[in-house]
Amino acid sequence: MNWSTIAKPSAQLRQWLIGLGLGIVLWLAAYSQLTAFADALVSAAGLSRQTHFGEAVHFFFYDTPKVLLLLTGIVFVMGVLQTFFSPGRTRALLSGKREGLGNLLAAGLGIVTPFCSCSAVPLFIGFLSAGVPLGVTFSFLISAPMVNEVALALLFGLFGWKVAGLYLAMGLLVAIVAGLVIGKLKMERHLEQWVRDLLAEPIEQMTAEQLSWLQRLRAGGAHVREIVGKVWPYVLIGIALGAGIHGYVAEDFMASFMGRDVWWAVPAAVLLGVPMYTNAAGIIPVVEALIGKGAALGTVLAFMMSVIALSAPEMIILRKALQPTLIATFAGVVALGILCVGYVFNWLL
Amino acid sequence: MKNIKILGTGCARCRATEALVKAVAQEKGVEITLEKVDSLPEIIKHGVLSTPGVVIDGRVVHAGGVPTRSEVEGWF
């Protein structure tokens, strides 16, 4: 047996903290040497950045460690943060909140509460049963998958903090406004009959357990293993693809059909995104390649939001609890919001 | 004999949870009856907000994500 598994919790916590401190120092050291690392590799291979191939190789060996470092750091912090916001706790925070403030809070909590679309229905009904208004519940349900740490880490790594911040702000705005609109439409009677029957009687409310710091740090580690372990191949393939396009495809290749002057590009991007279902890691490197070749930022962000927030499989899951009218309203309101974001971005930038 | 219910609508995490519970119970020599619950009203009635959930002898002991091995060992 490994000695650490029989050590006392306090000793284990000390090990974790020492490991974490070392990890932070190594992380910062590695992050500060990214360009030097890529330069050294390119010159060690006898390549020059003046050539297409050399530039593509440099791009790959600069972006890959950068994105993986950012992803690991942000996912770890998020994994620890999520232990403070279990779905039960978030529900308690939202219960009885009025519309308006409630929508704002719900969209914000959507970022830090762990969410998997496979449990969208139990969560949805659990929120309603605790007295969270329908519109507020929708704000949460829109924000949780759309504004997630993987999307933010990748956008930050590949486009910088401005684009990541804009995505965050716009994602929250769409979630808040769409939830407000759905709330105003008073669509409670468009829930399936079994849901309304269930809501008529009291449902057992689970109380959240108290976690120690050791458990929280462990949760962060587990989150990194799960998320980074799952998405790294997408990141690698995406960046390799991006590197190839970066080196070889003509600069304004995308401008003719995804440029800002093409008025129909935004709705086309939103429609195209609906049947597509992938995680943020799979879509963002493609997004980067599109932007690099002259596609407009608003159009591409609209595409990305549509792929993540308006996925056909999630609607099929929600269909079990919502009648078609409510599903259509939900999709319509969110699509309209994303459309506005796309146009505003293209017009502003 | 412990009665164990795995609550979930058949996602990968639910299957992983089921396999883990089976393995740990066998290791510890605890006899269990394992039941998979995939009906949504049934899951919701247990008060579980995120799946997979684990119910032992009528009490919810876990909800959301695959439990860790040491957590499962603690149940038996």
For each of the domains in chain B, give its residue range(s) and CATH number, in order of start.
2-75 (3.40.30.10)
* A313 near B CB under 8 A: no
In sequence order, what are the residues at sequence separation of 6 or more whose Cβ sits closer than 8 angstroms to the Cβ of residue A218?
A16, B68
Q: Is the peptide bond before A9 cis (omega within 30 degrees of 0)?
A: no
Task: Say how far apart CA A209 and CA A232 lie, in whole Å.
Answer: 32
Q: Reduced to 3 states, what is the DSSP secondary structure of residue B53? A: strand
Phi, psi for B59 (deg, rounded to 5): -110, 130
Instruction: Categorize the per-residue pLDDT at A7 as very low, low, confident or very high, splitting at 50, 70 and 90.
Output: low
Q: Report which listed range, A117-121, A156-160, A162-166, A282-286, is most confident.
A: A162-166
Across the range A246-254, mean pLDDT stands at 65
- Is A156's pLDDT higher than 80? yes
Which residues is B3 bridged to in the sheet?
Answer: B33
Task: Say how far apart CA A44 and CA A147 lie, in whole Å.
Answer: 40
- Residues in chain A within 8 Å Cβ distance of B50: 87, 114-116, 119, 122-123
Say what the ipTM of the complex is.
Answer: 0.83
Task: Say how far apart CA A220 and CA A234 lie, in whole Å.
Answer: 21
Task: Say how far apart CA B68 and CA B63 lie, in whole Å.
Answer: 12
Across the range B16-26, mean pLDDT stands at 88
Instruction: Categorize the per-residue pLDDT at A316 as very low, low, confident or very high, splitting at 50, 70 and 90.
Output: confident
Instruction: Categorize the per-residue pLDDT at B32 as very low, low, confident or very high, splitting at 50, 70 and 90.
Output: confident
- Residues in chain B within 8 Å Cβ distance of A114: 50, 64-65
Task: Say how far apart CA A257 and CA A52 lie, in whole Å.
Answer: 25
Mean pLDDT taken over chain A:
85
Is there a contact between A86 and B64 if contact means CB atoms under 8 Å apart? yes
Q: Using one digit for the tens of pLDDT, what is the confidence trace for B54-66?
A: 888 888 888 887 8
Is there a contact between B47 and A206 if contact means CB atoms under 8 Å apart? yes
* B48 near A CB under 8 A: yes
Partner-chain residue, chosen from B48, B65, B68, that has the shortest CB–CB distance to A122: B48
Is there a contact between B64 and A320 if contact means CB atoms under 8 Å apart? no
Residue pair B6/B52 in contact by the 8 Å Cβ criterion: yes
Nearest of B71, B59, B60 to residue B21 by alpha carbon: B71
**Nearest C-alpha in B relative to A121:** B40
Per-residue pLDDT, A4: 45
Alpha carbon dihedral B40, B45, B46, B48, in 10-degree steps, equals 60
Task: Say how far apart CA A40 and CA A69 lie, in whole Å.
Answer: 19
Task: Say how far apart CA B1 and CA A25 lie, in whole Å.
Answer: 50
- Residues in chain B within 8 Å Cβ distance of A204: 45-47
* B74 near A CB under 8 A: no
Phi, psi for B56 (deg, rounded to 5): -115, 120
Task: Say how far apart CA B72 and CA B76 lie, in whole Å.
Answer: 7
Using CA atoms, how far residue B56 sits from A86, B18, B72, in Å, is: 21, 13, 11
Place of tokens 């470092």: A69
Half-sphere exposure of A330 (CA within 13 A, CB side): 29
Percent of chain A with pLDDT over 90: 30
Task: Say how far apart CA B61 and CA A207 lie, in whole Å.
Answer: 11
Q: Among A64-73, A84-93, A319-328, B2-11, which stretch is predicted with the lowest mean pLDDT?
A: B2-11
- Is A278's pLDDT higher than 70? no
- Is A312's pLDDT higher than 90? no
Using CA atoms, how far residue B9 sits from A148, A310, A317, B42, B53, in Å, is: 23, 21, 10, 11, 10
Using CA atoms, how far residue B72 sits from A5, B55, B75, in Å, is: 15, 12, 5
Q: Report which listed range, A100-104, A314-318, B31-35, is most confident.
A: A100-104
Per-residue pLDDT, A50: 81
Half-sphere exposure of A194 (CA within 13 A, CB side): 12
Per-residue pLDDT, A1: 42
Taking the alpha carbons at both ends of chain B, their separation in whole angstroms is 11
State the best of B11, B14, B50 to mutate against chain A, taking most chain A CBs within 10 Å. Answer: B50
Per-residue pLDDT, A231: 85
Query: What is the 8-class DSSP label of residue A119?
Result: G
- Residues in chain B within 8 Å Cβ distance of A88: 49
Using CA atoms, how far residue A241 sits from A36, A162, A284, A339, B16, in Å, is: 23, 24, 11, 28, 33
- Is A91's pLDDT higher than 70? yes
Task: Say how far apart CA A203 and CA A193 lie, in whole Å.
Answer: 16
Per-residue pLDDT, A182: 94
Q: What is the CB neighbour count within 10 angstroms for residue A46?
A: 7
Per-residue pLDDT, A322: 92
* B22 near A CB under 8 A: no
